[in-house]
Every structure is written in structure tokens, then in C-alpha cells.
Amino acid sequence: MPPVRSKKYKERVELALIIESEGFEMPPCTYCEKHSYRCIVAKENFNRCSECVRRGQRCDISGPTSRDMTSIIQEQERLDREREETLSKLLRLDKQQRFLRGRASEMIRRGLKTMDELDDAEEKERLDKERIGKGQSNSGLSMPAEASSNVLDNFDPSSFLSPSDPFSFQNSSGPFWGDPDSVGEMPPTSQDS
């Protein structure tokens, strides 16, 4: 079964055939140029070529309209604005990136400086400990003569425990050593409470 064509389509095809038979060839419109068709227009009224009439579409055989030119200019201006905005955004992002790189390098520099200061402080502390350790070992090995004589002069052999009486150090007159029956009692305090 052949496809059913509308009456309007049939009229367009008939009009295109009339234009082709009585018209003349012009430089191609956009559609004819794109599809490599011959662009034929009517002698009296050449607003549309035969192919554009057949397809039922606009034809720009007479050149672009002022509305077409205006829309092209507006689109170019929009693209220019968008390009400028994009460029300014890129410049801003580059500036932020340079700033962040500077901050990062400053943080690294400060961190390294702090680590160097800590290393120096630890080294100084280690050297001080070594110096103190050497000083103590030297003083323990060789006492000055006057210090050793003072120790021997003040030496009291009775201050040591006697092996025969291990409790000789106890002071029986003290509150803890007085009465053996008072075990567990609290000694008197000096303050009245």
C-alpha cells in the first residue's frame, strides 16, 4: 500500500515542480548548498527555492534577514561575555593557587625551623646531661681533702647498731616507745582538736 500523503504536501511538490520548470538557477541557499542541490527560484517571486518549497522550510536565498543578523550578533556578544567571565575566573583561580602554594611553602619553612630549634634544644639538653654526669662521676671519685677529713672528724661509731642489741636505736622515752600496753593508740597531738 503506498504511503498516504497529505494534501498540503502534494501542493508543495506541485509548486516546486512549477518553480523548477519556469524558474532560473541562483547561487545556492544554505539547504541546497549543504545537500548539493541546484537552487532554482521563480522569476517573479524568489523568496524560496524549489527544494525549500518541497520540504516546507524557510529559505535564505535572498540573504540573511535583519533578525538573523541580530541573533548572530547577540550570540557573539554572549560568547564574548562568557569568555571574559571564564578568563577572569581562571585568573582568580591562578591567584588563589599561587597564594596557597605560598602558604604551604611558608608552613613547611616554619615547620622545618621549629624542628631545627627542637633538635638544637635536645642536643643542648643532652650535652648538659653529659656535662652534669661527668661532673658527678668526677666528684664521686675524688673528694676534696677537707671534705673527707670533715666526714671522719664527725664520725661516731656509736651511731651504728650494736650487733648484740639491735633495738639500741630506740628512744624509749618517745611517745611511740613508751608503754607497751598503749599499742594502737594515737599519740597526743600538739594542737587541741
Give the whole-angstrom CA distance, residue 37 versus residue 58: 16
Length of the chain: 193
What is the DSSP code (8-state) at residue 193?
-
- Helix residue ranges per DSSP H, the chain: 7-22, 30-35, 50-55, 66-141, 145-153
Contacts of 86 (CB under 8 A, 6+ apart): none
- Print the domain residue range for 21: 7-63
Instruction: Quote the number of domains for the chain.
Output: 1
The H or E element containing residue 24 is strand 24-25
Residue 27 confidence (pLDDT): 86
Residue 21 lies in a domain: yes
Residue 154 confidence (pLDDT): 60
Grid cell digits, residue 30: 544554505
Give the whole-angstrom CA distance, residue 63 versus residue 39: 13
* Residues in a beta bridge with 24: 41
Residue 114 lies in a domain: no
Residue 96 confidence (pLDDT): 96
Residue 91 confidence (pLDDT): 97
Residue 44 confidence (pLDDT): 79
Give the whole-angstrom CA distance, residue 16 versus residue 30: 17
Give the whole-angstrom CA distance, residue 74 versus residue 57: 24
pTM above threshold 0.75: no
Residue 111 lies in a domain: no
Residue in 56, 21, 57, 65 with CA at minimum distance from that of residue 40: 21
Residue 109 lies in a domain: no
Residue 142 lies in a domain: no
Residue 56 lies in a domain: yes
Q: How far is CA 127 from the centre of its chain?
A: 42
State which residues of the chain have pLDDT below 50.
193
Residue 42 lies in a domain: yes
